[in-house]
């Protein structure tokens, strides 16, 4: 079974295929080419960063030396570990001990012992302040923002700052799972680093010992106070128990049980007597003398038993209450005795620790010599080289991406879509400008060759093959359009053609310098009065100069220009017009409208792409697009560096003059 394909149904994704543009592949070779051509910039940045880093490492940065002392804060191998409580071995306690090394009390003792307040390395206030240092600028900015003025620091501020500087010079590390502390001191002098490390370690031990002694003394005072209070409380509770026994005449548990038995027996006898009395009162002999006598006897017995029961019950209640109170007092006394014994044991243990001391549990391995710590000059230079290389590459990339001009013929063709008629180097144009300083102007072999190649490229185009009126223009000034017009004029004139050169860009002094001041004035009068044009022997052509349009009272009308050009077409084979820039003067479009071909000059690496495109669009708007473009004023060496065209290096040298 075959599946029918509906070819008439439109593809829903077809419209996106024209919008989506393929992503260009990453051109690694072009990137490497750009970096290679920018190698001198990379090298300059690298040398600059290396020089700055080397000056800092070898001239500015002061050498630093370190020395380390080792402490052991007690351990299982101590002789006192059996009877004396060991320091807490948990990480929190050991980290606290490490933090105490750089605490303010310890560092204050170190500063006092070594007189660091008189040392400019730690007391920066002793050194004169340089106005352009980082700290000075930061202090000035802080005072400026806060609206305050700098005041001399007091003694407390100097001490605090010295403590901070000393703390920055000390490093305390703890070896994991051990009691070992490493105290590392840093200084500009190796001997000072050793002294600083050993003094800090020794004063830390003395501070720790003094702190422990003071703590144990305070603990003993507190424990002694608690023991005395508990002893007095226990004695008071024992006195209360004796008073209860004496006041209630409390007997033992057997006597209390016998008293309970007596109360129960009296209650039972009382019940039997009452039952016997009830039986006599309802018996058949009721009323007899004997019966009455027995009833009276039983009633007397009941009264006696009731009184006995009440006495025994009162005694039992008193004994029970006294026994309960005595039991409560005994429990309180026992609890007080246990607490008393615990505090008494702690007091004795604290006295034993004071007698044994704490210096045995803390040993020191002193620092012996200071070692060089920095600056790491080779590391600084290595980082500077890497940083300089990266910054240089970034600078090359920024220069390459930020470039707005056009650097090769391929880029110019891609940006405009027009054929590149010629490429003129800045050396060629400078040679023509140099010749104008020593009139008469002579076109040498190189200049003549440049004109012939330009004419050949123009003749190969569809518009330029039979072009009679040729306009040379550009986007902005100083792009070499006048040079191109002179090249074409000289080439056609030397070929025996009747050529007329019309200079329409009067502010440009190039044409005046080529033909001279007097012929230039005569050429201006020839255009204004309609007289025959002024002939220039060096160019082999007649010259007409249009006066500055801005100075004329009457505008240059299109029909007048068309009539004048038509009359010139009958007299000359070729008419070359040096028109003003398109973006600067609207008259350039007027000349382009009456032309047969337009050559458009673009200055190498200088004219922005947007300006070129806007100028060409202005010509397209009037229906007379440019015939071709010329890349002018090329720096050959830099073009090879900046261009991404891989074929540029294999092109013959005749392509660029």
Task: Please give the backbone phi and psi of residue 473, each rounded to the nearest 5 degrees, phi first.
Answer: -145, -175
What the block records as the tokens of 544 is 């007409």
Neighbours of 237 (CB within 10 A): 19
Q: Which residues of 38-77 are buried (b: 16+ CB within 10 A; e: fewer)?
A: beebbeebbeebbeebeeebeeeeeebbbbbbbbbbbeee
480 vs 424: CA distance, rounded Å:
9
Exposed, middle or buried, 442 (CB in 10 Å: 0-12/13-18/19+)? exposed
Quick check: 542 and 572 in contact, CB under 8 A?
Answer: yes
Averaged pLDDT of the chain = 81
pLDDT of 549: 58
pLDDT of 256: 64
In this predicted model, what pLDDT tens digit does every residue of 353-398 receive, in sequence order? 765 555 444 667 888 888 988 889 999 999 999 999 999 999 988 8
pTM equals 0.58
In this predicted model, what pLDDT tens digit does every residue of 411-425 receive, in sequence order? 899 899 999 999 998
What the block records as the tokens of 292 is 């009455």
> What is the separation of C-alpha 229 from the centre of its chain, rounded to a whole number of angstroms?
63
Domains present along the chain, CATH in parentheses: 26-61+375-402 (no CATH), 65-209+363-374 (no CATH), 218-362 (1.10.287), 409-548+560-655 (3.40.50.300)
In this predicted model, what pLDDT tens digit does every residue of 184-223 receive, in sequence order? 999 999 999 999 999 999 999 888 888 888 888 888 888 8
State which H helix or E strand residue 239 sits in.
helix 190-248
Which of 221, 211, 210 minimizes the C-alpha distance to 350?
A: 221
Quick check: 501 and 576 in contact, CB under 8 A?
Answer: yes
State which H helix or E strand residue 583 sits in.
none
Contacts of 603 (CB under 8 A, 6+ apart): 405, 474, 478, 479, 480, 632, 633
pLDDT of 86: 45
Q: What is the DSSP string of 149-164?
A: ------HHHHHHHHHH
pLDDT of 88: 46
Quick check: 420 and 628 in contact, CB under 8 A?
Answer: yes
- For residue 446, cis peptide bond before it (omega within 30 degrees of 0): no
Q: What is the DSSP string of 187-234?
A: ESSHHHHHHHHHHHHHHHHHHHHHHHHHHHHHHHHHHHHHHHHHHHHH
In this predicted model, what pLDDT tens digit does every residue of 573-629 receive, in sequence order? 999 999 999 999 888 999 999 999 999 999 998 899 999 999 999 999 999 999 999
211 vs 595: CA distance, rounded Å:
104
Contacts of 286 (CB under 8 A, 6+ apart): 280
What the block records as the tokens of 233 is 């409380």
109 vs 211: CA distance, rounded Å:
14
91 vs 86: CA distance, rounded Å:
14
Which of 437, 429, 466, 486 minimizes the C-alpha distance to 604?
A: 429
* Start-to-end CA span in the chain (Å): 70
> What is the separation of C-alpha 512 from the centre of its chain, rounded to a whole number of angstroms?
61
pLDDT of 81: 42
pLDDT of 250: 56
Contacts of 522 (CB under 8 A, 6+ apart): 534
Quick check: 592 and 598 in contact, CB under 8 A?
Answer: yes
What the block records as the tokens of 204 is 């830390």
- For residue 66, cis peptide bond before it (omega within 30 degrees of 0): no
pLDDT of 512: 83
Three-point CA angle 501, 505, 508, nearest 5°: 105
Q: Which residues in the chain land under pLDDT 70?
A: 1-24, 74-89, 131-133, 247-257, 259, 280-281, 283-288, 315-316, 318-319, 322, 354-363, 435-446, 548-556, 646-657
Task: Determine the 3-state secondary structure of 61 from DSSP.
Answer: coil
Contacts of 491 (CB under 8 A, 6+ apart): 448, 451, 452, 454, 455
Q: Position of tokens 């074409």?
A: 488
Contacts of 58 (CB under 8 A, 6+ apart): 377
631 vs 425: CA distance, rounded Å:
8
């Amino acid at each position: 079974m075959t599946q029918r394909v509906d070819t008439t149904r439109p593809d829903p994704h077809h419209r996106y295929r024209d919008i989506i543009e393929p992503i260009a592949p990453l051109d690694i070779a072009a990137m490497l080419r750009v970096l290679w051509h920018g190698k001198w910039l990379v090298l300059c940045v690298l040398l600059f960063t290396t020089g700055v880093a080397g000056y800092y490492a070898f001239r500015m940065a002061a050498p630093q030396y370190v020395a380390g002392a080792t402490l052991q804060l007690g351990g299982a191998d101590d002789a006192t570990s059996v009877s004396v409580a060991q320091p807490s071995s948990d990480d929190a306690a050991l980290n606290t001990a490490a933090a105490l090394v750089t605490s303010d009390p310890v560092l204050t003792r170190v500063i006092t012992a070594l007189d660091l307040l008189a040392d400019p390395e730690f007391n920066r206030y002793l050194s004169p302040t340089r106005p352009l240092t980082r700290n000075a600028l930061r202090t000035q900015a802080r005072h400026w923002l806060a609206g305050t003025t700098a005041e001399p620091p007091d003694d407390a501020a100097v001490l605090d700052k010295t403590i901070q500087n000393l703390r920055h010079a000390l490093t305390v590390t703890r070896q994991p799972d051990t009691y070992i502390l490493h105290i590392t001191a840093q200084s500009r002098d190796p001997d000072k680093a050793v002294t600083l490390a050993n003094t800090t370690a020794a004063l830390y031990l003395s501070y720790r010992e003094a702190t422990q002694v003071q703590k144990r003394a305070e603990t003993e005072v507190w424990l002694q106070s608690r023991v005395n209070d508990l002893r007095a409380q226990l004695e008071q509770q024992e006195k209360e128990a004796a008073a209860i026994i004496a006041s209630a005449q409390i007997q033992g548990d057997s006597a209390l049980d016998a008293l309970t038995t007596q109360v129960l027996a009296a209650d039972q006898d009382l019940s039997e007597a009452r039952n016997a009395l009830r039986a006599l009162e309802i018996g058949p002999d009721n009323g007899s003398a004997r019966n009455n006598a027995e009833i009276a006897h039983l009633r007397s017995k009941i009264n006696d038993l009731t009184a006995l029961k009440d006495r025994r019950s009162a005694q039992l209640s008193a004994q029970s209450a006294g026994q309960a109170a005595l039991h409560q007092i005994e429990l309180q006394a026992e609890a007080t005795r246990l607490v008393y014994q615990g505090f008494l044991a702690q007091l004795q243990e604290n006295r034993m620790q004071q007698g044994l001391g704490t210096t045995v549990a803390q040993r020191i391995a002193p620092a012996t010599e200071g070692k060089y710590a920095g600056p790491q000059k080779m590391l600084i230079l290595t980082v500077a080289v890497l940083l300089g290389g990266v910054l240089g590459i970034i600078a090359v990339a920024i220069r390459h991406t930020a470039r707005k001009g056009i650097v090769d013929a391929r880029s110019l063709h891609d940006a405009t879509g027009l054929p590149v008629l010629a490429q003129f180097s800045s050396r060629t144009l400078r040679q023509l400008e140099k010749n104008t300083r020593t009139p008469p102007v002579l076109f040498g072999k190189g200049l003549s060759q440049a004109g012939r190649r330009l004419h050949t490229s123009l003749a190969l185009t569809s518009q330029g093959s039979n072009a009679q009126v040729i306009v040379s223009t550009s986007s902005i000034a100083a792009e070499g359009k006048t040079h191109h017009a002179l090249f074409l004029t000289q080439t056609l004139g030397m070929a025996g053609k009747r050529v007329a050169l019309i200079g329409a860009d009067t502010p440009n002094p190039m044409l005046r310098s080529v033909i001279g001041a007097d012929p230039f004035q005569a050429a201006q009068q020839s255009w204004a009065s309609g007289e025959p044009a002024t002939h220039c022997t060096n160019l082999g052509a007649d010259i007409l100069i249009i006066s500055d349009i801005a100075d004329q009272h009457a505008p240059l009308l299109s029909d007048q220009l068309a009539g004048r050009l038509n009359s010139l077409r009958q007299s000359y084979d070729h008419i070359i017009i040096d028109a003003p820039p398109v973006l600067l003067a609207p008259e350039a479009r007027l000349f382009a409208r009456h032309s047969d071909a337009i050559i458009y000059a673009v200055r190498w690496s200088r004219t922005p792409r947007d300006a070129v495109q806007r100028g060409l669009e202005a010509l397209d708007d009037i229906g007379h697009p440019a015939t071709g473009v010329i890349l002018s004023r090329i720096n050959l060496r830099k073009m090879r560096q900046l261009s991404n065209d891989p074929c540029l290096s294999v092109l013959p040298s005749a392509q660029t003059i």
